[in-house]
Structure 1
Amino acid sequence: MSGGALVLAAHGSRSDPAANALVRRLAQAVRERRLFDEVAVAFHQGEPGFDTVLDELESEAVTVVPVMTSAGHYADVVLPDALAQNRRFPDVRLRRTPPVGAHPGIAPLVARRVSELLREYGLPRADTTLLLAGHGTRRHSASRDTTLHLAETLRRRRVAGEVIAGFVDDDPGLAEALGTRPEGPVLVLPFLIGGGSHAAEDIPRAVGLEPGEFPLAGRVDHRLIVVDHALGTLPGLLDVIVDLARRHPPPPPRLTRRGGGRSPLTTTGTVRLVGGGPGDPGLITVRGLDLLRRADVVIHDRLIGPELLQEAGAGAELVDVGKGPGHAPLSQEQINRLLVDRARAGREVVRLKGGDPFVFGRGSEELAACREAGVPCEVVPGVSSAIAGPAAAGIPVTARGIARSFAVVTAHQAGQDGEHDVAPLAAVDTIVVLMGRSSLPAFTARLVAAGRDPDTPAACIQSATLPAQRVTLATLATIADAAERDGLEAPIVTVIGEVARMGVDGAMSIAMPAREAAAIAEA
């Protein structure tokens, strides 16, 4: 990675050693990856403290990751004030990242855990309420914002029938939040890192249960309530921490008159539009990986995983410009300017995109912007998820005697506004839908209305080529409901056509009810 030092800063507890032990285990796991010269922990309550940790380090470049669930009093007031009390503070190049709980990767972790609990306890997703139990504090209004934002994100993802937020030390309290909901099972997820006595005692008692071993399940007024472990125990949190550190490197050294660095007269750098492949970091091309490792700047999308970003060279600047549903940190015009500006500063720039940069990746617009600005630009194709996603599920997009043509569309084509005519698609042998999870019901209904047989086999592939890959098989008429039933989450590739039948053998055990699989196999 970039060397330097990483500090994991947590609230900690002087009365509960387990809370601090969790953060120390995370730090040790980071050390084992050998990404930093030094990895340290610091606690508000514990040793070393926020006000002494920098003095124990040798590195001049330090990244501090608040291992906290939200911004607010401790992340935005206590931590920076205490860091400034270190003797070495004026001499280090320090970057404090946003808190762990604000990272966009937290929502998928929680969603995955909810799906596991629903399966473990046999709970219907549509009838279950998810209660996010945040800490909150009346001392800083921002402390509740991350919990509320996460609840809204999970609500949009429909991870449960209802998603609500309650707080240990703010309004609404946990009992108050729960009391306004209809009858039905409840999953309570403590949105805390270690949690200490809050997770072990306060939260269970607030919802009517006695403390015990987690997950803790019991009935309150004939209602099943399950209280899970705190957020900090979820697998994947380590990747979130590393990703935060990569996205927020320490500032570069200041250049003196005789200092190093690039001269203002340095020739213009080159922009490379690199396809990162369908998800598995091993599926990037050899050329793309070589350019990634040599880049000065990596401007990447949301779906580029931390494993691939770790291949970037030491000291490379990582810029996340990822777009998601309802979320775009930078407009396309701003991204274009960013590419041009970094290249004009003499930097070698890799624009790393999921799949192939020219398959619904707006790569052509970025290429045009570079050409107009006189910036050299190279296109490095990538493996598109439109082909690789189905292939990972054992589904070809063409097959002799079955499918001789295929079309690829996006969620825009699959929208509900009727702007695009789907009738031409009805005659295509295989239809591949990218980024179309939320609009799948409308799209499939329009295809049926346009004359496509409702019994046409169909498949949804979640997180194709990754360990989290899941496959749901159904028919054109039922695939939207089947994906909802199985709790599939974006990114999803949907395949519609006779070729989807070929995925039955490889996917039936994953998410396909035997009755429905048999119906497709016999059709």
Structure 2
Amino acid sequence: MPHALIVAHGQPSDPIPAEQALAAYAAEVDALCDGVTVHSATLAAPGIFEQRMAELTDDAVIYPLFMAKGWFVTSALPKRLAGRNLRILDPLGVDPDLPSLVAAALRDTLHENRWTAEETDLVLAAHGSGRSRNPSAVARTFANDLAQHLPFKSMHLGFVEEPPSIAEAAAGLSARALCLPYFACNGGHVLDDVPQDLNAAAFKGLVTPVVGELPRIKHHIAATLSHLLHRT
């Protein structure tokens, strides 16, 4: 049976909870896959990535659960392969289907609350970076693409690590607003920084799951892995 390894950054200061959370995530994707065994490893948990990689056959693929095709995906991850010729797929954040999938998930949320996009404000809470423009560029491209699928009343993009902040992006909005954390996994930024900034902005709207935790996304990853590994 073909194998796939879902890889995320993890939490260097406390690696075990993030490792366990990713394992649960991979188990959900595995259950949705057709004839593919899905494993997981964070880069931050000592020795776990190398252990999982040693268990993979040469036809296995690595799926980066990242929002940008940045340093971790293009440099750190290949170096950790230590000469293994395993195929690294494009990360979640640059998947061309992502805007339409997220738009469908947001439509579900709007429908559940009997809101329309035209009367709802959207805050995209993203990571950003003080060192590289790539993460914010990916987030801005996603925001522009998402706007082509859903005509929100307004769309505001804020970052954890660069201006404008999430607090600035979320300030002054009514209760008819959504905040979408533009992250692949639930980590420290999602659990701590995003809520703190929303509280600082007195945000009264609803906060959705992070992009990677949306059910449609898990189904899409499973379908992508199943199709790819059965085709090759």
Q: Give the SS at the match of 2:155.
A: strand
Separation (CA, whole Å) in 2 of partners of 1:242 and 1:142: 27
Matched, 1:196 2:187: yes
TM-score (norm 1): 0.40
The DSSP-based 3-state class of the residue aligned with 2:45 is coil
Distance 2:111 2:91 in 1: 30
| 1:236 matched to 2:212 | no
Q: Matches of 1:125 and 1:237 in 2, distance apart? A: 21
Paired position in structure 2 for 1:55: 54
- Specify the SS of the correspondent of 1:60: coil
- State the one-letter code of the partner of 2:207: V
Q: Provide the rounded CA distance (Å) in 1 between the counterparts of 2:191 and 2:15.
A: 11
Deviation (angstroms), 1:184: 6.7
How do residues 145-184 of structure 1 correspond to structure 2 at under 5 angstroms? Answer: 145-179=137-171
Moved over 6 A (4+): none
Q: CA offset at residue 43 of structure 1?
A: 0.8
Secondary structure at the residue paired with 1:9? strand
Between the aligned partners of 1:41 and 1:186, the Cα distance in structure 2 is 34
Q: SS state of the match for residue 133, structure 1?
A: strand
Q: How far apart in 1 are the matches of 2:174 and 2:6?
A: 41
Task: Verify: 1:77 aligned to 2:75, yes or no.
Answer: yes
Residues 339-488 of structure 1: matches in 2 within 5 Å?
none
CA displacement at 1:191 relative to structure 2? 1.1
1:46 alignment partner, SS class: coil
Structure 2 residue runs of 5 or longer lacking an equivalent are none
Is 1:97 matched with 2:95? no
Provide the rounded CA distance (Å) in 1 between the counterparts of 2:207 and 2:8: 23
Query: Structure 2 counterpart of 1:65, which letter?
Result: Y
The whole-number CA distance in structure 1 between the counterparts of 2:121 and 2:16 is: 32
Structure 1 position 183, deviation (Å): 5.8
Equivalent in the alignment of 1:19: 18
- What amino acid sits opposite 2:70 in the alignment? G
CA separation of 1:171 and 1:43: change in aligned 2, threshold 3 A: same
Structure-2 separation of matches of 1:123 and 1:48: 47
Amino acid in structure 2 at the alignment position of 1:69: M
Given residue 186 of structure 1, which amino acid in structure 2 is its aligned partner? A
SS at 1:131 equivalent = strand
The answer as to whether partners of 1:134 and 1:191 remain within 8 angstroms in 2 is: yes
Give the whole-Å Cα distance in 1 for the aligned partners of 2:228 and 2:8.
18
**Is 1:8–2:15 an aligned residue pair?**
no
- What corresponds to 1:40 in structure 2? 39
Q: Structure 1's 75 and 248: CA in aligned 2 closer, same or farther, altered over 3 A?
A: farther
Q: Which has the larger share of helix?
A: 2
1:185 aligns with 2:176: yes
Contact 1:72 1:141 in 2 (8 A): no
- Contact preservation (8 Å) 2:29, 2:219: no
Unaligned runs of 5+ in 1: 210-218, 250-313, 318-523
The answer (yes or no) to whether the contact 1:133–1:189 under 8 Å persists in 2 is yes
How far the C-alpha of 1:173 sits from its partner, in A, is 1.8
Rg (Cα) greater in structure: 1
Q: CA shift at 1:75, angstroms?
A: 1.8
Which residue does 1:520 correspond to in 2?
Answer: none
Q: Is 2:66–2:92's contact at 8 Å kept on the other side of the alignment?
A: yes
Counterpart code for 1:35: G
Please state how far the C-alpha of 1:48 moved relative to its aligned partner: 4.7
The answer (yes or no) to whether the contact 2:174–2:204 under 8 Å persists in 1 is no
Q: Which whole-Å CA distance do the structure 2 matches of 1:184 and 1:39 have between them?
A: 40
Between the aligned residues of both structures, percent identity stands at 24
Task: Compare relative contact order (CA 8 Å, sep 6+) and give the higher one, 1 or 2.
Answer: 2
Q: Can you list the C-alpha shifts for 1:12-71, whole angstroms capped at 9, x where unaligned?
A: 2252755333321232234444523x53212112255434432233x1212000011222
CA distance in 2, matches of 1:44, 1:106: 24
Contact 2:92 2:184 in 1 (8 A): no
Structure-2 residue corresponding to 1:385: none
Aligned alpha-carbon RMSD (Å): 2.8
Distance in 2 separating the partners of 1:123 and 1:205: 26
Asked if 1:111 corresponds to 2:103, the answer is yes
Cα deviation for residue 159 of structure 1 reads 4.3
SS of 2:137's partner is helix
Deviation at 1:80, TM superposition (A): 1.6
Aligned counterparts of 1:79 and 1:197: Cα–Cα separation in 2: 21
Query: Cα gap change, 1:17/1:194 in structure 2, threshold over 3 Å: closer, same or farther?
Result: farther
Does residue 28 (structure 1) correspond to residue 37 (structure 2)? The answer is: no
Q: Secondary structure of the equivalent of 2:129?
A: coil
The whole-number CA distance in structure 1 between the counterparts of 2:177 and 2:15 is 28
Partner of 1:208: 199
Does residue 142 of structure 1 match 2:134?
yes
Judged with a 3 Å threshold, the aligned counterparts in structure 2 of structure 1 residues 106 and 19 are, in CA distance, closer, same or farther, namely farther
Q: Where does residue 375 of structure 1 map in the other structure?
A: none
